[in-house]
Structure 1
Amino acid sequence: MNENNSNTSDKITIKVRLSDEDYHDISIDWSDESFDFKKQLFHQLSAYTGIPIIHQACIDVDNVNLHRCEGLMNAEFKNGDVHEYYGWKFDTKEDAMNALQDGDCFLLHTELKSGVYHPGIYCTYKLVHWDLVSETGCNFHYCHYLGSRPIIERFTELVNSDSLQKAMDEAGLTMEERNRTLINLNIKHFTELKCSAKNLIYPGSGWRIHSDYLRYRG
């Protein structure tokens, strides 16, 4: 990282990519109050991934310099409560400026989610600094398969499905009912994708590969 080009400027550019693609530039203007840094991030990630703004909940950042930023919340997420509930804790501009430095390179990891407090199905992002990623295979920080374009495309297809969103938007579902609905729709396994590398590296950690899907559906 070029120390002379850190966040002393109002504008920075970071590089983001999926595991099977080239880097994509994302620019942030910290001084733009009419379209703040979070909106800038989410809109540019939406353009890159194809996941609509309303189905993106938050961004976590893992940086090699130990600055970790958890939960940059999307004010345009379809369930606005998520921003009100979590926003005060983690998504300060200061935290983001510490975690995102000019010239940083990140690999993008995306997860599909569905929860009691946030009906429907949606996605969350994690930006993992390149220096934390293994070039030769998966590690604790990043899975090259789960960070690939085909995974993003499948998630995009699911969140854009009106029928799936309607089925999961029903208010008052308990977690057990929600999980059963996800299994019946044959998408529960997509919400619990885990890399086997974590099991190999940390065999006693409790991570496991889930098989919550209807086998007769293929």
Structure 2
Amino acid sequence: MSAENSNSDKTVIKVKLSGEDYHDIVIDWTDTSQAYEQQVFGRLAEISGIPVECTAVFSLIFRDQRFEEIWVTNKRAKPELETPDWTHQRLEFNRENLLNLMNGNEHFGLSLRLCCDDNKHFYIWYYFVPERFMDENECTRHFCHYLDNRAILNKFKAIITDDVLQSQMKDFLVQPRWPQFDGFIFLEPWHNAYRRFNIMQYYYRTCYCHQQVERFIYQLVDYVPPQLYLRTHG
């Protein structure tokens, strides 16, 4: 049943990675055995191969502007999430709110982010990008054909599920994580660890379109352009 039928007991969200066919995420609103959003997290785990407990958040972008999104936090993440902004869910996930965010039968691209929580563990964050903000062949600010695909997803999976790597990194992820520097957030301490373990190029979006939008933010943090970073770190 399509998203536009508000009387249906089920809502189908169609999502895809670049280069793949659409996958169905079916939400059964009659299933009260768990929070509704856990059906989405469970299906995302099936699509990606990354366990539910290694997922932090999924977000629905609803306007073509920075930060115009609603995110839903995974309460079954393990270890439990500690980053305050992630744990403060903006909107209850229910049928009415979801249908208000969806544009009829619109499909979504699945955009991927590697993220590290304050608890020093890596997780995946999924963005549902409406097809009206995508291009079939070209990258846009929200969806990149070079980064939002199965190959990159598998790279993220290897990092997120590598317990040895995360254990080795812990001592290098110093606190406080967010020291203030001249009034701006300064991320140098944790970036050093990302470089040391050759993860920096996966942690930030390296797509040209995205960099143009985020250039000002990158100037405030200790960000090394990926082409320079990879040249010296193999």
TM-score by length of 2: 0.77
Match of 2:59 in 1: 60
Q: How many angstroms apart in 1 are the aligned matches of 2:144 and 2:99?
A: 26
Relative contact order, CA 8 A, sep 6+: which one is greater? 1
Cα shift at 1:144: 1.1
Percent identity over the alignment is 27
CA contact (8 A) 1:73 1:86 kept: yes
Q: Distance in 2 between matches of 1:165 and 1:204?
A: 29
The answer (yes or no) to whether the contact 2:18–2:149 under 8 Å persists in 1 is yes
Aligned residue in 2 for 1:149: 150
Structure 1: tracts of 5 or more residues without a match: none
Measured against aligned partners, the alpha-carbon deviations of 1:30-66 in whole angstroms (never above 9, x if no partner) come to: 2322122211001100100111111110011124799
What displacement does 1:203 show? 9.1
Give a deviation string over 1:68-95, Cα, whole Å, max 9, x none.
6522010111132449864554141253
**Root-mean-square deviation (CA), in Å?**
3.1
For these two proteins, the number of residue pairs brought into alignment is 213
TM-score (norm 1): 0.82
Instruction: Check 1:114–1:98 CA distance in 2 against 1; reply closer, same or farther (3 A cut).
Output: same
Structure 1 residues 28 and 101: CA distance shift in structure 2, 3 A: farther
- The answer to whether 1:210 aligns with 2:225 is yes
Aligned to 2:137: 136
The one of 190, 208, 227 equivalent to 1:178 is: 190
8 A Cα contact 2:64 2:133, kept in partner: no
Matched to 1:90, the amino acid is R
Structure 2 gap ranges (5+) = 178-187
Please report how far the alpha carbon of residue 217 of structure 1 lies from its aligned counterpart in structure 2 after TM superposition.
Answer: 3.9
Give the aligned partner of residue 114 of structure 1.
Answer: 116
**Matching of residues 1-218 of structure 1 within 5 Å:** 5-63=4-62, 69-82=69-82, 86-94=86-94, 95-100=97-102, 103-115=105-117, 117-170=118-171, 173-174=174-175, 175=177, 176-199=188-211, 205=216, 210-211=225-226, 213=229, 215-218=231-234
